[in-house]
Amino acid sequence: MKHLLSTGDLSRTEAVRILDTAGQMAATQSREIKKLPTLRGRTVVNLFFEDSTRTRISFETAAKRLSADVINFSAKGSSVSKGESLKDTALTLQAMGADAVVIRHHASGAPHTLAASGWTSGAVVNAGDGTHQHPTQALLDAYTLRRHLTGPGDASGRDLAGLRVAIVGDVLHSRVARSNVQLLHTLGAEVTLVAPPTLLPVGVQSWPAEVSYHLDEVVGSKPDAIMMLRVQRERMSSAGGGFFPSPLEYTRGYGLDARRLAALPEHAIVLHPGPMNRGLEISADAADSPRAVIVEQVANGVAVRMAVLYLLLAGEQRHDSDETKVDQ
């Protein structure tokens, strides 16, 4: 694996290897000294052209916990506002010796362009591109599902075969949904997408997922997990709006509230990638309930991103030196 651009590029073996490595990374994070020397002397550049809280901070934390040097670049306040291109920005950062570039961009395909261009010699990690992909989010979601739903003890080696996951809401604009559908399918889970017809993309029937317009029916079918998607109002307003009649009607049809939460099976967990629109796609009851693993998803994101950076930058050397072993 040279880059991580899409969950569609991951074989089952590669995905399981990342999840297993994340488990090893997580185990190191309960120690008094959390820092590993694994990426000492390496440089990770976080290149964010679009806003982020969780992804940016957790990639920074992950790189630092692996002892990498970290350069944080945010388009706001940079020469991008003077018209500098992705190419010239990437070449500038390459001049500083980036071993990995973590990129979030509003344009779908920007990480692929960067990886194919030769503007950087480093590994490219997609941290979310337009409505296209967010592979590390899907990996941390799979890691969270694995921890909660695949039995007691060490989760290593377990897959998600047969788990039933409902993904609900603004599928149309969601790179999280696209990444999750592909990864969960690769790992053997069964996915049902639930949304109003206006928030489903053209061609969704060809995705490896069932499609429903009726949340109450899907909740009644007793899924193991329900993943609520953020209503992406910023992408809707730029498209002229009109995706649903009113916020209240959206909430009635597709929001997770106390009634729907109570109708889920006892073991079912509630996920949300964040940031949440409380009161729109998820009520405070649901977001703050003991079934919600939303804060844990954020913590798991650090372990998963440590695993991704480790496998991209040090995976080949893992047997060369005791220093590179994560289970030291």
Chain centroid to CA 312: 17
Q: Shortest gap between Cβ of 118 and ligand CP (angstroms)?
A: 28
Smaller CB separation from ligand CP, 48 or 243:
48
Q: How far is the C-alpha of 92 from the C-alpha of 75, rounded, in Å?
A: 13
Q: Shortest gap between Cβ of 237 and ligand CP (angstroms)?
A: 17
Q: Shortest gap between Cβ of 171 and ligand CP (angstroms)?
A: 15
Options 56, 104, 132, 178, the catalytic residue? 104
Smaller CB separation from ligand CP, 75 or 326:
75
User: In the numeric block, which tokens belong to residue 221?
Assistant: 């079918």
Answer yes or no: 64 catalytic. Answer: no
Smaller CB separation from ligand CP, 23 or 273:
273
Options 3, 65, 105, 134, the catalytic residue? 134
The residues, any chain, with a CB within 8 Å of residue 34's CB and separated by 6 or more, are: 28, 65
Answer yes or no: 54 catalytic. Answer: yes
Answer yes or no: 175 catalytic. Answer: no
Options 2, 31, 82, 319, the catalytic residue? 82
Q: How far is the C-alpha of 212 from the C-alpha of 228, rounded, in Å?
A: 14
Smaller CB separation from ligand CP, 36 or 45:
45
Options 38, 43, 55, 192, the catalytic residue? 55
The residues, any chain, with a CB within 8 Å of residue 69's CB and separated by 6 or more, are: 41, 42, 43, 44
- Long-range contacts, 30-37 (Cβ 8 Å, 24+): 34/65, 35/64, 35/65, 35/66, 35/67, 36/65, 36/66, 36/67, 36/326, 36/328, 37/67, 37/323
Q: How far is the C-alpha of 75 from the C-alpha of 252, rounded, in Å?
A: 38
Smaller CB separation from ligand CP, 234 or 323:
234
Options 12, 17, 54, 233, the catalytic residue? 54
Answer yes or no: 134 catalytic. Answer: yes
Q: Shortest gap between Cβ of 52 and ligand CP (angstroms)?
A: 3
Considering only CA atoms, which of 99, 105, 94 is closest in space to residue 63?
Answer: 99
Q: Which residues pair with 191 in a beta bridge?
A: 165
Binding site for ligand CP (CB under 6 A): 52-55, 128, 134, 137, 273-275
Q: Shortest gap between Cβ of 140 and ligand CP (angstroms)?
A: 9
Answer yes or no: 55 catalytic. Answer: yes
Residue type present at position 138: A
Catalytic positions: 54-55, 82, 104, 134
